[in-house]
Structure 1
Amino acid sequence: MAVSIRTMQEADIADVRRVARTTWHATYAGVIPEPVRTRFLDAFYSDEALKRRMGGSLLLVAESERGIVGFANFFESRRDPEEAELGAIYIMPDAQRTGVGSMLLAEGIGRLAGTKRLFVNVERSNRNGRAFYDARKFRIVGETQELFYGHALTTVKMRLDLACRDAE
């Protein structure tokens, strides 16, 4: 599958929302109740929310001949210019394990000039997500219990040291 990575445009909002809904329901069925997933998706993937994120963060899409098959959202830290967060990286289930996630991650890292540490939070039971980050040398740096729209979750915080990658 030939894929190109580019900056998200306003015309991509419906496709990004489709990717988010499809992947969230596939990933978290049996972990997060459906009403909780839907409330989150409605809030964070509305037109208004996505437009705000486009203006205040780096949103990349992965596009193939089938259309948008994934996206990633990176946020630069407001308190430390050497840190950034990967807020989301979602790949359609039938496009997972094809290199799309790696392409999005690499492009995002390449665009985060001066970033030395990249953080990501992942739900502890999300085995596929954790395996993705483990394979790319992210390390666990903490774990948090939180209420997510009233549902208890355990979130693992992971860090990738980019300065070490530059030295390799």
Structure 2
Amino acid sequence: MSVTVRPVASFEEYLTAMRTWRLAWRAAFDHVVPAEHLPSAELTEARRDSLEAVYDDVRDRDAVFVADAGGVVGYAHLVTDTDRTGAFVPDDDAELHALYVRPDRWGEGVGSALLERVESACSEATRLVLQTFAANEDGRAFYRARGFERVGDHTFEVGGESYPTVVLAKPLRN
């Protein structure tokens, strides 16, 4: 399978990336989060409108990459601005805010290609840090196999409920 990882090129492509996120979230976390709090597979018109403002913001301030294999099959969102990283991210580190692959493409190297591109974009950071649900055993195994280690615990709120997360970090080559 040939995949090219590159910056997101348009709002429409960003919407496709968000559909990828929705499908991956439903598949990966259906055993973690109650069904009523999982995102629907389709975007409503209201959600599409709200994502336009989000796209303008992240396009100008963060790095959003897509994995293209004749269409978007995955995406990653990197945050390097310390004013925008999560509370669990130390000042000298970058945050992998999101990395999602369409479930029908899991196991094909798409996530690894996205992660490599994100790491290459972290020129100033000491480490790449992320949080994932503590119950996300597959995700934790993916990151451990790529050099991430557990450095802490945190929580993430979904639907008014807090869920335990683990914070993982990987030293970067600078």
Q: Report the identity percentage.
A: 29
In the alignment, what sits opposite 1:13?
14
Pairing partner for 1:97 from 99, 107, 114:
107
Pairing partner for 2:75 from 71, 74, 83:
71
In the alignment, what sits opposite 1:49?
54
**Shift of residue 81, structure 1, vs aligned partner:** 6.4
Relative to its length, the structure with more helix (as a share) is 1
TM normalised by structure 2 equals: 0.83
> Is there any run of 5+ residues in structure 2 with no aligned partner, and where?
84-89
Distance 1:146 1:82, change over 3 A: closer
Q: Deviations over 1:33-87 (max 9, x none)?
A: 2332239x959x823223321221000000002x100000000042666310000
Note if 1:150 corresponds to 2:155: no
In the alignment, what sits opposite 2:65?
60
Residue type of the partner of 2:99? I
In the alignment, what sits opposite 2:92?
82
> Is there any run of 5+ residues in structure 1 with no aligned partner, and where?
none
**Shift of residue 146, structure 1, vs aligned partner:** 4.6
The number of residue pairs the alignment matches comes to: 161
Pairing partner for 1:108 from 114, 118, 133:
118
